[in-house]
Amino acid sequence: MRKGARVTRAGLASRVQARSPAVAMQPTAYLAARCLIGWLQFVERSSRAFAPNSAVLVAMGAAHCWAVVYALFIAIHTRAMRFDGYHEGYAEHLPSWVNTTETIAIVSMGVWWAAGFCIVAINLFDEGTEDLPVGQQVELGFFTKLMRHPLLHKALGIAQTVSCCGLFVGVILLCLAMVLMKGSITGCEICLVFVALGFILPHAAVAYQQFTTKEGDSTKPIPAAEAAAQEATAFGPQLCVILALADTPGHAYFWQNILYVVSAVAFLASIAACGNAPSKVCGAAIPPDPLEFLVCLLLDIAACVSLVICFPHLNTWHLWALGALTIGMVAMIYFEAGRDIVIDLLDPLLVVRSDKHKVLPGQQREQCRGASRLMALVCAGVALWDILLHPLPPGIIEAPAAMLDENEFMMVRWDLPPVEPPGEQWLLDHAAEALEMDATKLSTQAFLEDHRVLIFKAQTETMWPAGAHWNAYVVRPSGKMEEVIDRNFPGTLNGHLCIEAQAEMERSRAANEGPTHSDTFVQFVGEAVHAHKAYLAACDFWRSSLTETGAE
């Protein structure tokens, strides 16, 4: 029988949100922008299409790469937490370069946005000065010359290209981290690595060609690399996000893993087929067919729904405002008057479409593309099925962040006889001595004498991590406490571990099985049965405290 997947998934998602700065790079806005661009291409398919410019392909590749980097960060953090449970120290199992890569990715994306906005602003302002009277044009001559100066445009282009290179290198390093990390890798994560590499390699080839081409060089772009990059862009980023969220607990069924593998193989095969036989003449502006627009739209929606479900904190007014803005833009693009405004802004990119005779035949290529799109939809459907149809067991809730403060739920357990049972005040006084705090700053949360456990909290005026210091002390106690304390018992209560353990107990009772605990629980609490009972009793107190404060 399968374990409670959504309980683990919810815990992992909340911990990723708390630990990883990359989670701030939520791709919901990116997915909304994809929907709008696809809708614009669909309504203008009879007259216009986006120009297949290699520079634009590289620049937009960074935006797509953003979602791929995000997906890899999610997978890396969740895998680290699976290996070391819900412990605070799970980051120790991350490769040393992950944090550096995270910073590089964020900085690269910031540079890309800054350079992109400068380019758009220059183009808009430059177009506005063309219609000014002659006298005013003379006054603005300096600024006009500055905006039109080749060095400025070259510098902005180099800035975007370098930022793309930073993101491309980041993807490769993160894929390497997935392979070298401790713990077992899931089939879904292997698929994510291959899809990410399949996306990045053709883009890197186009970026390299673009970066090494000298000004005035008549060398044409590599048609195979461009065709492969365009195919990878079609649904690669959405597939990466879906795969990163599809099996975060690592509990997927065998048939699910088979479908994920087939989806990844079909994606790579379609990229290879397009690179081997491009679908159009180099330089032709051909819009995607309506079926491809529908597939991409469904994948965008599936990725966005998966994100919102796995990260409930996203369901705020910001998300609803983004949804309302997207719907408004869809309506604006539908009407010709509003669409003309958007087309004017994208005029250098959205050009008159080429004739259909520039579409190149290729039966094998089209079969691979069709199979890849079908399997991508199947993969998205299975992932959503897994996320939606494994709800939290009744009574199991996600822990509020405030209730997971280690300073609020420190624990001490005295040892078995012949150790004489100490009193509650004795334990508090010596705990204060160990923490080098005033004893009046410590207070009892619960005194579970039957389980030999005292739960207490510290009132600190600053953000001093009393819980972390107490954890270190419990492992190596000193003084009079050394003769009394059970150093194998955790020094702080972990709310997420309580959720997982109680869910496992619920599952065991429902299946009429004996009490069982996960390897993570045993590793954290120890192998002694009486220690398990003591920790679960502390968890019961924590749950009852949530009820009393109205958290449920």
Q: Give the model confidence (pLDDT) of 367-413 as tens digits.
A: 999 999 999 999 999 999 888 775 444 433 344 433 456 678 889 99
pLDDT tops 70 at residue 69: yes
The pLDDT of 291-305, averaged and rounded, is 92
The pLDDT of 226-245, averaged and rounded, is 91
Asked if 315 contacts 20 with a C-beta cutoff of 8 angstroms, the reply is no
Per DSSP, 407 falls in state: G
pLDDT tops 90 at residue 260: yes
**H helix runs in 213-222, sequence order:** none
Confidence of residue 190 (pLDDT cuts 50, 70, 90): very high
Q: Note the pTM of the prediction, 2 decimals.
A: 0.68
Range with the largest mean pLDDT of 9-23, 84-98, 105-119, 262-276:
262-276
Q: How many Å from the N-terminal Cα to the C-terminal Cα in the chain?
A: 29
The pLDDT of 219-239, averaged and rounded, is 82
pLDDT tops 60 at residue 274: yes
Mean pLDDT of the chain: 78
Instruction: Please give the Cα distance from 307 to 315 (Å, whole number).
Output: 10
Range with the largest mean pLDDT of 45-54, 345-354, 444-453:
444-453
The pLDDT of 245-266, averaged and rounded, is 88
The pLDDT of 30-58, averaged and rounded, is 85
Confidence of residue 22 (pLDDT cuts 50, 70, 90): very low
Higher pLDDT, 295 or 54: 295
Residue with the two structure tokens 């449920």? 552
**H helix runs in 389-465, sequence order:** 424-435
Instruction: Please give the Cα distance from 483 to 356 (Å, whole number).
Output: 85
CA distance readout (Å), 325 to 192, 242, 247, 329, 538: 31, 24, 31, 6, 47
Q: How many CA atoms does the CB half-sphere of 376 hold within 13 Å?
A: 33
Confidence of residue 278 (pLDDT cuts 50, 70, 90): confident
Instruction: Please give the Cα distance from 448 to 210 (Å, whole number).
Output: 69
Tokens of 362: 């290729």
Higher pLDDT, 357 or 341: 341
Tokens of 427: 């334990």
pLDDT more than 90, % of the chain:
20
Q: What is the pLDDT of residue 264?
A: 95
Instruction: Please give the Cα distance from 132 to 140 (Å, whole number).
Output: 10
Buried b (16+ CB within 10 A) or exposed e, 122-159: beeeeeeeeeeeeeeeeeeeeebeebeeeeeeeebbeb
Residue with the two structure tokens 């009490």? 515
Candidate from 98-102, 221-225, 431-435, 520-524 with smallest mean pLDDT: 221-225
Confidence of residue 461 (pLDDT cuts 50, 70, 90): low
Domain range annotation of the chain: 5-16+42-388, 401-548
Instruction: Please give the Cα distance from 107 to 61 (Å, whole number).
Output: 16
The pLDDT of 257-276, averaged and rounded, is 94
pLDDT tops 80 at residue 95: no
